[in-house]
Structure 1
């Protein structure tokens, strides 16, 4: 399997994103930074973008955005993309470009379901933090209290797992996992199988010593939720996260099922490196780190809910937004990143990428969904779209998640001040 696929469970640069390569959603490159927590406010960029400085999304601005999006679409060779940008009192920009299916030429539209890779991490960690609010788990509990057989399990805390500071090897970077997934991408994986790929490797550093984006952390948190709640993770997320948040089109599949209508997804994370349609690949290998599916309207709601902590107590949200430096201009909190003031996560799974972020100063929401995870000149296409859009509307807060290389590092997408990217989801 390629390095990108191994990162796929990470969906954000440095921590957010997909399982495949994004900082987050799953995998990471192998990028590690000394852990230096700081508050979300301290992480904020110096130049604020108050609501009155966010531009009116007039027809003239829309034309600028159209040109910028089309330019990235063409240069990065992305089949199709949908974009939603809005802020209170400023109007909204909701568009789709390109095709949803290269074989038929079906156009991309804004009502299609998409795989969201490492954005799944934001839902899993929210579910965990709800258990914290209920007093059923503690962020400083050791993982060994809930899951046996974890290296350093008596010292790695739930907080360190959610903040990507455990030191546990990222299973999606293991060669054996690579071979198993690329040889049969429709096969199912169990959480225990995924952990076995990680635990055959020594721990990389002492708990909390560094930042290292690892999908393994989220698999363990998913198991904690199941043990404490007595429910399957997909059922728990549906009942306690997506339903209360009012997200009727956000689902946690247990296999390769994919609601319709959906876009076809294209990847080069294959055994032979050739581009394939990955639409029906089984995302169970990403599970709590990157398996979920959503659509544009739901993610627009989720951006605000996630960044403002609607489902959580204020003190718990404050803990979530404490970040450590992950990549230049980016910080990672508890399953969330802050890239130049934009708070949220990115995702990347073979065939798909996503970006869902919120800028508190302007109360602005940006969501980007596309049907490929193939990089362009070493950069994640979701980051290219995020950068092109924010250069126009928030030049003081340009979403720029630096590309990284090497195993263990998060998907190169967002550059959070409070959160990161994902992978297979990469």
Structure 2
């Protein structure tokens, strides 16, 4: 389970909370004229996928699923099933915006690596050169932060943080407030010693980008990543703003354990680790950009893809990116939403999944169940299994 799992906040979702340029971009369609979706898959294969997705959706109690699968030379499978709003019964549709949780990490690390390409930072610089007060910061490198081997305690695992967040999901956290929850604990390991998923790592990298890049993180990502990637419906929100159209999201990560609508919870708690919003067609483009290194030099992309074992069978982790069954990318989870965006270079295939719940089923993330089933059907030699426990 690669994800920023915990919680966020309730505030009216107003488009005014997003940058004006992003708001204008969200009004445009997902495709340019030369980007029309390819033809559908073989009818028999399509029927098998329909059945698999619907079976898992019903068994796992997922309200709605958006699926995009593109297989060059074989066709595509683009579907929305279930509901976007359980109160009204409004159907899930493929054009909806969704919170993408820890997929934000791929954007943050891409921004960081652009600064590496410009020789403004080095991956083996200590974090203490940029941010004060980090435990063992003189021995923890930017590389170790990006590859989840810093040994820092994750703020999102702190009980007081969870209580603060769940008590007031509308609360806005600053990056320094988040880090303080983690820094009160001893480090869990020596720098570089072991893989441990940690949201504190990405918050620190966000602060490095701001210091060196000279812009707020959201502005830097918008100017340096989203614009050149031509991602018109992807944004880093300012607070709880959530432009229409979007699906409602449902979670049981609440103080009572009851299921609640988490649609408007404030994702500031996840910031550089998990606050972003996107849609199916932008993520299709992004999956290939991340896996092939379009926005980076070949040398820096090679550093990114130097994946190391995580200690969990079948999954390795690089610089803000994982590899499982040959699929490269990331997943995301935060209250109410889960996602998977991965690319399979050997077949030039792309898979994007967006669902409106983070409620586990038999101890597993529903997005992982879907990805595993879909890849088991279409790429049986390359089955997705990105399951890694996180704090």
Normalized against structure 1, the TM-score is what? 0.83
RMSD of Structure 2 on Structure 1 (CA): 1.1
Match of 1:303 in 2: 287
Structure 2 gap ranges (5+): 8-39
CA distance in 2 between partners of 1:197 and 1:254 (Å): 22
Q: 2:80 aligns with which of 96, 109, 127?
A: 96
Q: 1:116 aligns with which of 92, 97, 100?
A: 100
CA distance in 2 between partners of 1:336 and 1:363 (Å): 17
CA distance in 1 between partners of 2:192 and 2:69 (Å): 36
**Pairing 1:92-171 to 2, within 5 Å after superposition:** 92-171=76-155
CA distance in 1 between partners of 2:333 and 2:288 (Å): 21
CA distance in 1 between partners of 2:166 and 2:5 (Å): 14
Partners of 2:108 and 2:206 within 8 A in 1: yes
Higher relative contact order (CA 8 A, sep 6+): 1
1:156 CA displacement: 0.2
CA distance in 1 between partners of 2:388 and 2:136 (Å): 30
Is 2:13 the partner of 1:17? no
Is 2:363 the partner of 1:375? no
1:379 CA displacement: 0.3
Q: 1:391 aligns with which of 353, 376, 391?
A: 376
Match of 2:329 in 1: 344
1:403 CA displacement: 5.7
Normalized against structure 2, the TM-score is what? 0.90
Structure 1 gap ranges (5+): 1-12, 22-55, 411-426
Q: 1:64 aligns with which of 48, 56, 60?
A: 48
Is 2:338 the partner of 1:353? yes
Match of 2:203 in 1: 219
CA distance in 2 between partners of 1:369 and 1:389 (Å): 13
Shift in alpha-carbon separation, 1:155–1:403, aligned structure 2, 3 A: closer
CA distance in 2 between partners of 1:237 and 1:243 (Å): 9
Q: 1:364 aligns with which of 349, 360, 363?
A: 349
Partners of 1:345 and 1:356 within 8 A in 2: yes
The aligned length equals 358
Match of 2:221 in 1: 237
Partners of 1:19 and 1:290 within 8 A in 2: no
CA distance in 1 between partners of 2:6 and 2:221 (Å): 22
Partners of 1:379 and 1:403 within 8 A in 2: no
Deviations 1:358-391 (A, max 9, x none): 0001000000000000000000000000011011
Shift in alpha-carbon separation, 1:217–1:313, aligned structure 2, 3 A: same
Q: 2:270 aligns with which of 275, 286, 297?
A: 286
Match of 2:30 in 1: none
Match of 2:306 in 1: 322
Partners of 2:206 and 2:217 within 8 A in 1: yes
CA distance in 2 between partners of 1:132 and 1:377 (Å): 42
